[in-house]
Chains A and B, each alone.
Chain A
Amino acid sequence: MADERTPRATRSDATVLDHAPALGPLYARALLTAPGRGGELTEHEVTQHGARIDRERLTAYDRVCGFGVRDELPATYLHVLAFPLQMVLMVDRSFPFALPGLVHVRNRIVQHRPVRADEVLDLRATARNLRPHAKGAQVDLVAEARVGDELVWEGVSTYLAKGAEAPGQALSGHDELEVSLPDDASPAAVWRVPKDMGRRYAGVSGDVNPMHLNPLAAKASGFPRMLVHGMWTKARALAALEPRLPEAYAVDVAFSRPLLLPATVGFVASTAGGPDEWDFAVRPAKGGREHLRGRVISV
């Protein structure tokens, strides 16, 4: 596998994958290569050409996240395809932060048009915008999907490295995602999220981060119980809005607080701006600070 032998990237290195790498070995490698990280971002770029959709895997993803079985891909499914490339970037020794301890705090996806399951995709991932933050340092893992020359999808995952340092200036205002939802808004739906939802999402997404699979690993990461992936929560929220989304849109979410399992949460949504534009949040059903807040806008 190309990633296993990838040397430390130089300032403008490129890794070309012929298939998506399995994430289990990458997580193991992330642990082994954790010490000694630092420095600045390199121009490292990871690409995969000719990615095809496995319909059975897609259907399983649809079921776990609540999407209907359609020929168009959920916008969050492209993240599932691009995430292994981002992992290759982060596991590489040239990446300034160790993966353990990185927190996914924000995810913004732009769907330029619906992508069909029979389309062949070229995927690309880079890391950008290393910057200081009040709690440490942040970096954006940026991914894009093209069909031929056409850019059809972009994803930006922002990670926080608590206590880390980074050169430059903190981005002002970038941190906050403002949504207009009353604190006491009654939920449009109540979701009962079972204890094994992290395992189920790991099964369909390939993201086998141990803290989602094993209570001990969760404790080792500082959580009292297993937690579900933030990208499941985002996908579940998007699925709830599925028939009411624009053709081309951006969906931006901030992961405010881990969703520990099992959980009963409320989904709150309200139209914002245009008829197909939404503010939404996932909150504990019994009240308290939200797990996720998000916004859909037409692009």
Chain B
Amino acid sequence: MAPPATRSAVVVGGNRIPFARAGGPYAHASNQDMLTVTLDGLVARFGLTGERIGEVAAGAVLKHSRDFNLTREAVLGSRLSPHTPAYDVQQACGTGLEAAILVAGKIALGQIDSGIAGGADTASDAPIAVNEGLRRALLDASHARSTVDKLKALAGLRPGQVVPETPRNAEPRTGLSMGEHQARTAAEWQIGREEQDALTVASHHHLAAAYDRGFFDDLVTPYLGLTRDQNLRPDTSLEKLARLKPVFGKDLGDAATMTAGNSTPLSDGASAVLLASENWAAEHSLPALARFVDAETAAVDYVHGAEGLLMAPAYAVPRLLARQGLSLQDFDYYEIHEAFASTVLTTLAAWQSEQFCRERLGLDAPLGSIDRDKLNVNGSSLAVGHPFAATGARIVATLAKELHDQPGETGRGLISICAAGGQGVVAILEAVK
């Protein structure tokens, strides 16, 4: 049997709620609340009330066990047709972009004509688990047949075991937080404090300018009194950021450079992006902003392999470029997720390093540098905030709109997102004019 013919998947548009800082205005909103209103905002924007969409793929990283079917529940609570199937995706910070890749792939194969990718995360409404000892005792008690056995199962409990466990932002295999991992990578690559702070200032200024010129008017829907991202500091400056003390890698002494300013804050929020075949968009009189061209994921061995936790995009991008026959310089826009300012800078440094590109990527020559004026032109996670699973769809929708808006016949953008577990998800979009 011949492989199925493929067609283009296009980005129609997106919607998100403003991202809030943890403990802020969304402190009592759940992932399901946020994802539902985000879907409803998308429905309102594109006239999808009662519409059966091919599928909705979304997820959350910090997720309650009761939310096992989070995305489907959000669909059922939304104004989409209840006949719209949905499933949850989880690839840490890569969740939203991975969901978009899944949806775009099905559209390209002709399996669906339309789909929504998205994600939600709340650091405020995070699950709290019972202590492992208590959990085991409760399960044993529920499995016990007699009352005596039930009591026996519970009798072994010690007072310390009833203390709940709060989630930690740490890698299970290393016990180190993402910030501690990245602090080591940044020190290894000798990424300076000042260039991190400069990238942070640019992120805030770009985001503020984009809001001021109305760029987000058809990308963001206010929620719970918030109309702009809460973390945005339009008046931040190198001087202000310079006053902050390092919070990660403090054991590195003078090499500690990562502060609360040049790291993303814990955030709450949700986002969604509508993808479709060109026919479906035309039939619904909806725009096609950009083609979802191709994508790649990579993973690195950060446990034993002497590679940084957040370095996987540095591996994914060259593979994607090779497949597409492109160079790193063949792009009009670069969206490199700002988990930390130093993540962006180490990734760029790696692509410029002759040694890294030869030894780690097996390339004859380094990928080279990029025009920094094309990087995160509408701000990114340092200013917007980073509700883990919500970042991917935010970036896809933002880049697609920027590509469509820019003058010129063509336009191409690269998305690069690092994720926990040593993973990286990257993709290419091209303007549809």
Contact = CB atoms under 8 A, between A and B. Distances in A.
A71 interface: yes
B28 A56 contact: yes
A94 B77 CA distance: 45
B77 A118 contact: no
A243 B224 contact: no
A69 B76 contact: no
Nearest to B26: A69
Given A55-B225, A118-B225, A243-B76, A68 B28 contact: no
Interface stretch (B30-38, B314-322, B358-366, B408-416): B30-38
Contacts of B79: 243
Contact of B223 (A56, A71, A243): A71
A242 B73 CA distance: 13
Contacts of A117: 224-225
B222 A71 contact: yes
Contacts of B30: 69
Nearest to B39: A243
Contact of A68 (B25, B77, B222, B225): B77
Contact of A242 (B29, B32, B77, B224): B77
B78 interface: yes
Interface in B381-411: none
Interface string B61-77: 00000000000000011
A68 B36 contact: yes
A70 interface: yes
Nearest to B222: A71
Contacts of B37: 68-71
Interface in A38-96: 55-56, 59, 68-71
Given A56-B28, A59-B28, A59-B29, A71 B224 contact: yes
Nearest to A69: B33
Contact of A243 (B29, B78, B225): B78
A68 B26 CA distance: 13
A240 B79 CA distance: 13
A243 B223 CA distance: 17
Q: Quick one: which of A56, A68, A71, A275 has the most chain B CB within 10 A?
A: A68
Contacts of A69: 28-30, 33, 37, 224
A117 B222 CA distance: 12
Interface string B285-320: 000000000000000000000000000000000000
A87 to B, nearest CB: 28
Contacts of A56: 28
A219 B211 CA distance: 60
Interface residues of A, number: 12
B144 to A, nearest CB: 24
Given A55-B225, A68-B36, A243 B77 contact: yes
A260 B222 CA distance: 40
Contacts of B223: 71
Contacts of B32: 68
B395 to A, nearest CB: 25
A117 B50 CA distance: 25
A68 B224 CA distance: 12
Interface string B204-227: 000000000000000000111100
Contacts of A55: 25, 224-225
A69 B79 CA distance: 15
A51 B367 CA distance: 61
B143 to A, nearest CB: 23
Contacts of B25: 55
Contacts of B224: 55, 69, 71, 117
Contacts of A59: 28-29
Nearest to B25: A55
A69 B223 CA distance: 10
Interface in B72-97: 76-79
Which of B32, B50, B224, B225 has its CB near the most chain A CB atoms (within 10 A)?
B224
A243 B37 CA distance: 11
Interface in B215-243: 222-225
B76 A68 contact: no
Nearest to B74: A68
Interface string A270-296: 000001000000000000000000000
Contacts of A275: 50
Interface string A96-128: 000000000000000000000110000000000
Contacts of A243: 76-79
A56 B32 CA distance: 18
A241 B393 CA distance: 29
A275 B82 CA distance: 13
A242 B77 CA distance: 7
A148 to B, nearest CB: 20
Contacts of B50: 275
Contacts of B76: 243
A275 to B, nearest CB: 8
A59 B33 CA distance: 11
Contacts of B36: 68, 70
A208 to B, nearest CB: 23
B356 to A, nearest CB: 46
A71 B225 CA distance: 8
10 tightest Cβ-Cβ pairs between the two chains A and B:
A69-B33, A69-B29, A59-B28, A68-B33, A68-B36, A243-B77, A68-B77, A243-B79, A70-B37, A243-B78
21 contacts: A55-B25, A55-B225, A56-B28, A59-B28, A68-B32, A68-B33, A68-B77, A69-B224, A70-B33, A70-B36, A70-B37, A71-B37, A71-B222, A71-B223, A71-B224, A117-B224, A118-B225, A242-B77, A243-B77, A243-B79, A275-B50
Interface of B: 25, 28-30, 32-33, 36-37, 50, 76-79, 222-225
